[in-house]
Every structure is written in C-alpha cells, then in structure tokens.
Amino acid sequence: MKRSALHSEHSNAGATFGEYSGWELPAYFVRPNQEAAKIRESVGVADLSYLSKFDLKTKPERLSWCLSATHYLILGQASSPVPAEAIDVTSVYAALRLAGPNSREVLRKLSSLNVSDTALPNFGCGQASLAHIPGIFLREDIGAIPAFHLLITRDYAVSAWKAILHAGREFGLCSSGIEALRSLSN
Amino acid sequence: MKFFFQRKPVEATPGDTIASALYRDGRRIFSRSFKYHRPRGLLCVSGNCPNCMMNVDGVPNVRTCVTPVREGMSVKSQNAFPSLETDFLSATQCFDRLMPVGWYYKTFTHPAMWHAAEPIIRKAAGLGEILPTRPAEYEHEWIHTDAAIIGGGWAGIHAALTMAEHGDAIVLVDDQTALGGQLRYGKSTDAVPADAIAKLQGAANVRILQDSSCFGMYEGNLLGILQRNPHSDANERLVHLRAKRVVVATGTFETPILFPNNDLPGVMLSTGVRRLLHLHGIVPGRRAVVLGGGAVAEEIASELRAAGVEIAAVVEPREVVSARGSAQVKGIQTSNGNFTCDLIVICGPHVPNAGLVAQAGGKLEWNNDRGAFLPADLPPNVSVAGDAAGEMLPNALPPLSTHKRAFVCLCSDVSCKDLCDGIAEGFDQIETLKRYTTATMGPCQGRMCQLSAIGICAHDTGRTVAETGVTTSRPPNPSVTLGALAGPSHHPTRFTPMHSSHQRMGAVWMDMGGWKRSRYYKRHEAATESESVLLEHKSVRETVGIIDVSTLGKLDVRGRDASRLLDLVYTHRFSELRVNQVRYALMCDSGGIILDDGTISRLAEDRYFVTTTSGNLDFVHQWLQWQLVGKQWDVHICNVTAGYGAMNLAGPKSRDVLAQLADCDLSSTAFPYMACREAKISECHALLLRIGFVGETGWEIHCPAESAEGVWQRLLDAGKKFGIEAFGVEAQRLLRLEKRHVIVGVDTDALTNPYEAGLGWAVKLDKEDFVGKSLLAHAAKNQTREKLVGFILKEAGLPKDGAAIVMNGQPVGRVTSSRFSPIQNGAIGLAFVRASEAREGTSIQVRVDGKLTPATVTMRPFYDPEGLRLRQ
C-alpha cells in the first residue's frame, strides 16, 4: 500500500491505520471523537497526503487555488475532470490539515506569513516559509472552524510535522486521524 | 518560597525579585565591578544598571532586580573571588596608575606581551560565565498588527485604549510584570488605572505582551521583541512584530549624579528607592541623605519619612564633596557639613528612553529647557507619547566632576578623570571618546552614563551639549540571547522515502545538502568503513548492488517548446533525442563554464524527465525559468524531486533481479544502454532508465515516492539469492571514479569548461545558438590551460582532495578526487594538470601526507575502458 512520508512518525505515535484511496494513513491516534473534540476546542493536525494534487500553468475551468498568475493548484478529488495538461504532483507534496480555533496561533509560531482573517480569508492561499521549509498555505475552513491545508514537499514532511507538534504544545495540539476530520465535515 | 544564593537557602515572598529578597535578607553588596572589583549594590532597581547582575540557574548577567524569584532557583555571584564580601582583585585599585584610560593600546605594543597578558586579563576582568550545556527552549512568533504600542505606562495604556476603540488591531508591549509603568511604584497604588487595564485585557482586538522588551526597530516598522517565560515549556520567545503604526511610549529612566565614591552600595536612585518601598515593601535604610532640590527631593524625603527612615539632610547636588565608606555608604561629605547615613538617595536627571526613535530614522535633539535629548524628525507612522516625548518634569542638570573615583560608566569602571584624560589625548568627539574609553559600551548600553559622558565631553571641549550630540543607537538594546535569535532547534532535514529501511540495515549517515544519505552500511558491530565500502564495491562489480539515489533533482519539463528550451540551455541536442531515449545532459553558463550535469529522458514528443545533481536542483529550476523570461514559449516546468523515490540497481546480476519484478523485456536488444521505459515493477508504475554511473549493467528506477520503499524492499528480497548488497555514497564514489566519471562541483570548479574536464564530446557546436556557444567554440579551438586527467599512484598512500601535483619541484595542479581501488590495488584519482602533462604515461608527483609520491597519468577509465560491462 502507498505510504506517507510520516508513516514511521505515525507508527511510533501509536496510530491505528486505515486505507484511504490506496494509502495507508492514520484513521485515529486515540479515538476519533476525542480528536474531533480537541480540534473544536483548540487545534489538531492530520496527515491527508492521499489527496490528489495537480499543478497547472493556466487557470483551469474548475475550482482551483491560484498561487500566482502562472501557477494553479488543484487539490483533492472532485466531480469535474482534471485538465489534460495538468501535471500530477500528488506524490510530490505531503498534505497536512491544521484545524481548530488556535490554528492561526500555531502558524504564527512557524511562519512570517500574515494569516489573520483579513489577510488570508477563507479560500485564500500563500507561499511562505513554514519552520524554515518552503510551504504552501491554503485556508479552507471546516464550517466555522478555521482550518488550513499545509503543503510541503515530501522530503521535508517529517521536519515540518515535528515543528508543528512542537509549536502546538502550548495549545494542547493533538495529532488527529482522518476519521476525526471526516466527522467534523459532516 | 525558598531559593538558593551561593548554595545557602534564602526566604522569599511571592512578588519578590531575586534582588529584593536578598536585600530584605540583609545583602548590600550584589556584584564586583568589571575592572577594579569595587563593591556594588542596588542602584536603579529597574534593570538599567549592571550592579545587581548575577548568575541564575546557569545563565550569566541576569539582572536580579527585575527577575521574579522562582522556587528552587540557584543564584551565584559573578566576577568575585573568593566572595562578594572579600574580593582579592579589588587590590587592582592600588595599581590604577598603571591602568589609565586606553591602557591596553599603550602597554601591549609588542604582540608577545598581549598573548601573555590576555588570559590573565580575561580571568581578572569580566562579567559572567556561560554554561554551554544548559538546556533551554526558545520560540519564535510572527505578529502582524495595525498598531504597536511600546510601553505599558500611563501614556501607552491611554494610546492603546484610544486606538482599540477605533477597532484597530493593537499589540501593547510592556517589559514589566504588570501594566502601569511608574504608577505602580508611586506613593499610592490607586494611581494605577485598573479599569483601563481591565478594558484592554478584555478587548478582543488587543494583544498584551507582558515581560517583553522591545530591543530594536528595523526596516518596515519591524519590531524585535523578547518575551521572557511566555509559557511553561519555553524560556524565551522572540517576537517579530510588524505594525502599520508604532507608538513609542517607553518613558524615561533616571540617571546618577557624579561625585567621588558615587558607586558605593547604599547610593540609590530615587526611582530605585520607590520600587523597593512600594513594589516590595522594603525599607531601604535607617538614615538617609537626599541629593536633589525642590519639590522632587521633598517628595521622596517625605515618602521615606513615612516609611520610618530618618532624613539626615536634603543636599543640593552642587554641595556634594564625596560619599564616604568602603564596602557600604557610611556618610557623606558636603560643603555644608558632614552627615552620617547608610543611604544616599539621588534625584537624578530623567532621560527619555527614545533609542527606538533613532533606530526608526528619527533624531534626538537637545532641548535646553527640558534638559534632555528629545525625539524629533519622526518618520511617518512612528509617534512618541508620554514622558519619552519629553512630557516629564524638566531636568536640572547636576554638576560634573573630574575626580578619578567619580564613576561615569559603572559597567566598565570609567571615571570622570578617565573621560577628561581621553579628551586631553585628542578623542574629543563623543563617538571616538566612547570607543576609546569604552564608556556607554557595557551592559547598560549607555542608560546610566550617556548623558554624563556627553556633559563632560561638551564641557571639556568647550562645546554645547547640542553640538556634542548623542552616539548612534543600535539594536539590540536591551541585549538578546543568541539562542532566542536562533529559535527552536529544528533544523529541517530531508529524508528519502527509503529512510527507515536504511536505518534498519545499519546505515551510517552523512549530510548532503540537507539530505540524510547513507555513507555506507555497518553490517555488524566491528565493521569498519573501509571494510564495508570494499564489500559494497565487490558486490556491485561481481554480483549486484542497489543504492538510494532519491536525492537527485528531478524536473518534469513539458510543452510544445520543451525541446527548444532544453536545446537552448544544455550543450547537446535534445530536440533530436528519440522518445524512450536517455542522454547525458551538460549545462554551461554564458562564459562556457560548467554549471551542472545530469540526464534527460524523452518520454513523449513534448515531455522530458530531467535529472540534476542533488544539490543543484533549485538553481537549475530557476535557471530554466530565467531563460524563459520574455519568451512566449509553451513550456511547463515542475519540480518533482520529492515525488519520486529513485534507486540504482547495478551489477552483472542486476537483470536477473529486476526481471523477477518488472513487466517489460530487459534484454539488451529490447532495452539497450541509454534507453528508458515506463514499466510496472510489482504493480507499481515506474520509469526505468538504463544508464550506468557506476559502470555496470544497471537501471536507475524512479517510482512514486509513496510506493518507493516497497519497491526497494522487494528488489532487496528478489536479489537475496544473488548476494545483493545495498551500497552507500562512499562505494558509489569509488565505483564511478574507477570509470572516470566526473562529478560536477567535485572534479570541476567555478572556472572549468567542458574541454578541460574531458566532456567536450557532449558539446554540439553545430547547434543553433545556445547558452555559452560562442565562448565554448573559442575554447574548443584553443589550447586549454589545464586538463582533468586520471592518475595511478605508484606507491602506498592516499592523496587528500586538493593535494598538490608536482613536476620538477613546481606545483602544476591539484587532486580533485582520490580513493583506494581494489582493482588497481592502490590509490587512483582525478587531477587537474597542465595540458603538457595530460598525456598517457606521463610521470608526475603527488603530495601525499607531506611526501612527494610518484604517479602515472592515464587518459582512460581505470576499469572497463571500452564500456563493455555497461552494455551487456
């Protein structure tokens, strides 16, 4: 099965794995509803590396993230097809999901990017350093809960994950599995 | 609460600082001065002077007068031997004639003298000692805000409230433990605006940074702030605060008056007395003399009387002759009589704390009426409020002194006489006087001494204070721990998809461009590096080996003009490369100098897979994009380095191993050397390149990173019966050296062109114009100054990289790579020599461990020169 760059980290943290689109990723670390509660109350981070990602030079006909006038990113499965000229970069990036009312506070300890509500509104994105690692920040809230996708190239994933956990200690950040996130989206 | 001073327990109450607890316990000597080891006691009690500095829990130079006590703290004195009470080195005062201002420059005129004296001076003079092993946690935070207000006194609180009511996002920075500024130690605690503070604390758009010092203002309204103990898991936090508007409301600090023995324990600033009285409830003495005039002096005298202190006299500063006492103030001699006392209270001038204004680009101008340097010429978006702007009471400037025991700079023991002597020696500008005498250059960074130093300089040079000016204010002020600037010790490391597999196999790691790579594998406890490398080498040459090359840079280049771009940037022709073929790719700059190399595989008419050397990917990516600027070419370049795990399976048995897992025909007819195919390896889509960096039959296999470790493991399993070994970077270096394969950046440098490196075959001068063409054409026709050749050492030894090549006693070149080769049973290598030596069989000498060792030049690969093994 396909494995995320964080597989050993998750394993050492006692994760229970599940299969998501052919990838072996944490379903939960402790219990899904406990992790979901922590996210609602403070902040949590999950590994969503299975999400498909496509890189484009021109704006596609469908929903995408605009990183610059000549750089677009499609994230995740959707009903509409991916343009033929898109380059599949699913393997290139690890995708982390940081969610919770304290997610901005955690990001402020890791990046100089202005992540305030006005500077980075919902569905806004930016590129900046994340703990000295080049990162792509995509804001996509889960309902009323502020949340971000953090894309870093796979080779840096372990360092980024550790930095996020370290910065999040102050807020009781929990490692979250995919089940918890899914329950929040419903 | 209890803490330890010099290992003995001391009682403290909550709210105490270390100094207040020690003072209450009866301590009066807190440190010994830098040069003369004079006893020093509490003076400012505000964190502005150096007198209370001690070592706390392994941290030196902690200002104990503003550091809250914590249970179990271990506090030690500094720079005092054997104790604060008795310091042998205070005897240096007897030799002060031998150590006048600038004495280093006058005495140590011979280099040997300084080298002899330096260790002694370093031990005798100084501040604290660092404990390198002390664990500490540092954090960083970045805050963007509409307005930053520096200073949480009355002016700062007022400004914050006003701006917050407008709806702006506000950050209020205050260096004390609670808001209120000097109102907290005024006569009555009612002065602290509790309602206003509560409002600020409750406002959603206000962030208060307490225990935070703003140490500098940088370009673009970027403020550097150091927050102490932000939460239980961190010692210090460095905050980068960027604000649209900055309000400097930092108030003033009180400075001392100059008179002989003004540095004795028991001489205290009125602010310090007030802090002891009203913040800590400590009666600072029994019988006091107040130095000052008018209402200011009367007020502090009445506060002391109310606390039960006897006021012996209120004396005008101009009447002071000298303070008396040796370890402690015993009395004061004035022109109106002598008084006994154990406390001298100075009502000194208040200096606006406006360094941030100067750093922001504003000016500090002397205002005679107020007796202070006040902010002026403020840049837009920076304003000053409160006492820092000059709203405090005007200062009556105290008289100056010329005495050798009237101290100006307490940090460096610089006396008034020292300053006068310095001026007399010709250092009559404030900036040069500062540097010559070191006044204002100590831990207090001029807070206590700048005004006095300027006053003396002005007086002795016959200038006005305004003409003399101030010295340049530079951040950080106050000082910042280097650890805090560095931040959390997370050094980003890049891992390949097969990392845990290498770990399990005993990989010995090396760092390469941020990546962790396996140097070699330690298969058992006693295995040495050379044994392991030779074992790995043998398996590649005789059976099969596999190496993780995921660190190679990889670019996906596609589009109608992809061929055009590659033809432009690389020296070979890529528009003519057939689909499913690989070609060596050499890149030069416009001077014809080698920039990088790699391979290019054509996957389709308009799609290429480009590899680069591991460390150069970012550069090559940028270089390609740079070449596209201004051209309307249809090319899409994507950095896919991390998306593929890559491995090189090589050796005579590599086909047997791969055939078990790959779904394509691997025979030399179906899959010749320098061909590429997309195939499935155990259900995983992979790109196979038949190339041979190490000189054996082999494939470079690229598969999606999420599946790479699985493929790696399955190849290892399939290869077991053939004796497969994983090999590391060291073995790879040796294998490629035997094939005389060049590594760009190791065997080439910033001046090497392809003809010098033996790579002229990769340059197609009959192409249309490409980067470097004209100079490459020139280089092709002209004799090169040096050439890269191979050499075989004739005797035992192993040259280091960079070792000299010598002919007839003259250095004529240098070694670029060298290794012991089991095939030659001796050292082989590559070296640059002059063109005249670049002939098969030439005898040269190589400097090995200082000895000139004979070697023979060879122009051919050391192993399989015809390249037959590769093509099998």
* Cα(B862)–Cα(B737) distance, integer angstroms: 8
Distance between CA atoms of B764 and A74, rounded to whole angstroms? 40
Say yes or no: A156 contacts chain B, CB-CB below 8 A: yes
* Residue whose tokens read 């099969």: B544
Residue B131: predicted pLDDT? 83
CB B247 within 8 A of CB B384: yes
Q: Mean pLDDT throughout B185-194?
A: 82
Closest CA to B757 of B720, B796, B721, B784: B784
* A57–chain B Cβ distance below 8 A for any pair: yes
Q: Does A170 contact B at CB distance below 8 Å?
A: yes
Look at residue A186 and tell me whether its pLDDT is greater than 90.
Answer: no
- Indicate if the pLDDT at residue B79 is higher than 90: no
Residue-level pLDDT at B104: 84
Amino acid identity at B396: A
R_g (Cα) of chain B, nearest Å: 37
- Rounded to 5°, the CA angle B467-B470-B474 comes to 155
Task: Provide the CA A159 distance to its chain's centre, in angstroms.
Answer: 15
Residues A48 and B244: their CA atoms lie apart, in Å, by: 37
**Residue B534 is encoded by which pair of tokens?**
């030779």
Q: What is the pLDDT of residue A177?
A: 97
* Residue B332: per-residue pLDDT: 96
pLDDT tier, A79 (very low <50, low <70, confident <90, very high otherwise): low
Cα separation, A178 vs B366, in Å, equals 65
Tens digit of each residue's pLDDT (9 = 90 or more) over A81-105: 788 889 999 999 999 999 999 999 9
Q: At what angle do helices A178-185 and A32-41 cross, to 10 degrees?
A: 60
Closest by CA to B811, choosing from B844, B841, B775, is B844
- Among A21, A53, A155, A162, most B C-beta atoms within 10 A, so best to mutate, is A155
What values do phi and psi take at B203, rounded to 5? -75, 130
Check CB contact of A93 with chain B, cutoff 8 Å: yes
Question: In degrees, to the nearest 5, what angle opens at C-alpha B514 toward C-alphas B512 and B517?
Answer: 45
Q: Please indicate if any CB of chain B lies within 8 Å of the CB of A169.
A: yes
DSSP 3-state of B646: strand
pLDDT value, residue B833: 95
Please choose, from the candidates B709, B710, B668, the residue with its C-alpha nearest in 3D space to the C-alpha of residue B690: B668
Peptide bond into B9 cis (omega under 30): no
Residue A111 with chain B: CB contacts under 8 Å = 142
User: Which residue stretches of B76-222 are H helix?
Assistant: 103-107, 111-124, 154-165, 194-202
Q: Indicate the pTM of the whole model.
A: 0.91
Question: Quick one: average pLDDT of B646-654?
Answer: 97
- Residue B111 pLDDT grade (very low, low, confident, very high; cuts 50, 70, 90): confident
Q: How many C-beta atoms surround the C-beta of residue B132 within 10 A?
A: 6
Residue B707 to residue A93, Cβ atoms within 8 A: no
- What is the spatial distance between Cα A71 and Cα A57, in angstroms, rounded to a whole number? 5
The shortest CB-CB distance from A3 to any of B556, B636, B706 is to: B706
Which residues of chain B have a CB within 8 Å of the CB of A58?
Answer: none
- B295-353 residue pLDDT tens: 999 999 999 999 999 999 999 999 999 999 999 999 999 999 999 999 999 999 999 99
State chain A's mean pLDDT as an integer. 95
Return the pLDDT at B88. 87
- Exposure of B178 by Cβ count < 10 A (0-12 exposed, 13-18 middle, 19+ buried)? middle
pLDDT at B81 over 90: no
Tell which of A92, A105, A120 to mutate to test the B interface (max B CBs under 10 Å): A92
What is the least distance, in Å, from the CA of B714 to any CA of chain A?
13
Of chain A residues 61-80, which have a CB less than 8 A from chain B?
none
Residues in A touching B209 (Cβ below 8 Å) = none
Q: Which of A158, A167, A169 sits opposite B495 (nearest CB)?
A: A158
Return residues 111-150 of A near B (CB < 8 Å).
111-114, 116, 119, 131-133
Is the pLDDT at B863 greater than 70? The verdict is yes
Segment B257-269 shows an average pLDDT of 96
Query: Which of A3, A90, A91, A130 best probes binding to B when mutated, by most B CB atoms within 10 angstroms?
Result: A91
B141 CB neighbours in chain A (<8 A) are 108-109
- Determine the average pLDDT of the residues in B498-523: 96
- Position B378, amino acid: L
What are the pLDDT digits (tens) for B359-381? 999 999 999 999 999 999 999 99
Q: What is the 3-state secondary structure (H, E, C) of B313-374?
A: EEECHHHEEEEECCCCCCEEEECCEEEECCEEEECCCEEECCHHHHHCCCEEEEECCCCEEE
% helix / strand / coil in chain B, to the nearest 5?
A: 25, 30, 40
pLDDT given at position B135: 82
> How does residue A26 score in pLDDT terms, banded at 50, 70 and 90?
very high
Does A159 contact B at CB distance below 8 Å? Answer: yes
What percentage of chain B reaches a pLDDT higher than 90? 86
| Of A85, A89, A155, Cβ closest to residue B494 | A155
Residues of A within 8 A of B556 (CB-CB) are 87
Q: How far does B700 lie from chain A, in Å, by closest CA?
A: 18
B127 vs B583 pLDDT, higher one: B583
Distance between B486 CA and the closest CA of chain A, angstroms: 12
Q: Is the pLDDT of residue A78 over 70?
A: no
- B548 DSSP β-pair partners: B647
Write out the H or E segment, with its range, that includes residue B662: none
Give yes or no for residue B125 having a pLDDT over 70.
Answer: yes
Evaluate if residue B538 carries a pLDDT over 70. yes
Q: Measured between beta carbons, which residues in chain B are less than 8 angstroms from residue A93? A: 642-643
Contact between B500 and A8 under an 8 Å Cβ cutoff? The reply is yes
| Cβ atoms of residues B277 and B285 within 8 Å | no
pLDDT tens column, B760-794:
999 999 999 999 999 999 999 987 889 999 999 99
The complex's ipTM works out to: 0.96
Partners of B500 on chain A (C-beta within 8 Å) are 7-8
- Give the number of A-B residue pairs with CB atoms closer than 8 Å: 107
For chain B, what is the mean pLDDT? Answer: 94
Nearest to B706 among A23, A108, A156 (CB): A23
Q: What is the mean pLDDT of residues B229-245?
A: 94
Whether pLDDT at B491 is above 90? no
Q: How confident is the model at residue A137 (pLDDT cuts 50, 70, 90)?
A: very high
**Length in residues, chain A:** 186
pLDDT of residue B114: 87
Provide the pLDDT confidence category of residue B542 given band limits of 50, 70 and 90: very high
> Treating both helix axes as pointing N-terminal to C-terminal, what angle do B450-461 and B416-424 enclose, rounded to 10 degrees?
40
